[in-house]
Amino acid sequence: MADAIGYGVVALVVLIGVVVLWPTPRDARRLLVRWSVSDPADAEVADALTYLRRRRIWYPPLFLAGPVLVRWLSGWRPQSLWSLLGTLLLGALLAELLAQRPVRRSRREASLEPRRVRDLVPGWALAVLAVTATAVGVVGAVGLFGLRLPNLFAVGDADVLAPHPGVAAAGAVAAVLTVSAVLWLSVRRPPSGQPRSDAVLRIRSGRVATGLGVAAVCALAATGTTFLGLLVTLTGLLAWRLIAGATNVAAA
């Protein structure tokens, strides 16, 4: 009976999450306008709506099941922020996998210019992700050999929520691989809808995923109740905001 009640509560939470997060045409139009698509047509709004729905459908189940799976595999209890960022990143990956199926339409327009990862994400953003993940991976590898860096900023027990060094290193690698997969899938995704909205949504996918990767790695490194951990977390969130910030890409 207790198990049945528990599963019922989880199912209810998932259902409520899907309803609350489910996007509307108004949300889709607002997304396009934010990314400098002036006066979007109905077809472009429909493209953006499909784009949002492919992502948000995954958020509630991933947010509930992800931490449980991580704890079962590694014995580490993820922080809420890291769980949220990981959920958004995995949702983006699953959405891009779904988008690989060509859309059956009587007419489909596409740009003849070849697409590259650098067309979606600026080089400096990729460099920030590489440096951040490398730093966390090195610190995790050092920890595997029993070495510990001095913690000069602790204001509490910094090891309460800290993952095993191997988990930290593996998490950094997983974040980079996930972002790389999203970028690759965004580049090779079959064209769908209008060229203007198609280009903008590809760029948004790449930049948001890269920013999420940086923030997730920083949140993974910033464990415990330390001043340095808080600073690293805020830096990661700021980097996410800068990388994923909407710019004038409507003509890209």
**Domain that residue 13 falls in:** 2-102+117-244
For the stretch 173-184, what's the b/e string if a residue is b when 16 or more beta carbons lie within 10 angstroms of its beta carbon? ebbbebbbebbe
Quick one: pLDDT at residue 178?
A: 95
For the stretch 5-29, what's the b/e string if a residue is b when 16 or more beta carbons lie within 10 angstroms of its beta carbon? eeeeeeeeebeebeeebebeeebbb
Exposed, middle or buried: residue 145 (CB in 10 Å: 0-12, 13-18, 19+)? exposed
Q: Letter for the amino acid at 20?
A: V
Residue 8 placed within a domain: yes
Residue 249 placed within a domain: no
Asked if 199 and 232 count as a contact pair (C-beta separation under 8 A), the reply is no
Kindly report, residue by residue over 76-91, the tens digit of the pLDDT.
566 667 778 888 899 9
For the chain, the helix, strand and coil percentages under 3-state DSSP, each to the nearest 5: 70, 0, 30
Residue 123 placed within a domain: yes
Kindly report, residue by residue over 89-129, the tens digit of the pLDDT.
999 999 999 988 766 654 545 454 557 888 899 999 999 99
pTM, two decimals, is 0.80
Residue 251 placed within a domain: no
Nearest-CA neighbor of 217 among 88, 129, 155?
Answer: 129
Q: Find where tokens 């609350």 sit.
A: 20
Residue 179 placed within a domain: yes
Quick one: pLDDT at residue 74?
A: 58
Residue 107 placed within a domain: no
Number of domain units in the chain: 1
Kindly report, residue by residue over 33-90, the tens digit of the pLDDT.
998 888 899 999 999 999 999 998 888 888 777 767 766 665 656 666 777 888 889 9
C-alpha 224, offset from chain centre: 23
Residue 149 placed within a domain: yes
Distance, first Cα to last Cα, the chain: 56
Quick one: pLDDT at residue 136?
A: 80
Residue 18 placed within a domain: yes
Percentage of the chain with pLDDT > 70?
Answer: 67
Kindly report, residue by residue over 134-176, the tens digit of the pLDDT.
888 777 666 655 555 444 333 344 444 455 566 777 888 889 9
Exposed, middle or buried: residue 205 (CB in 10 Å: 0-12, 13-18, 19+)? buried
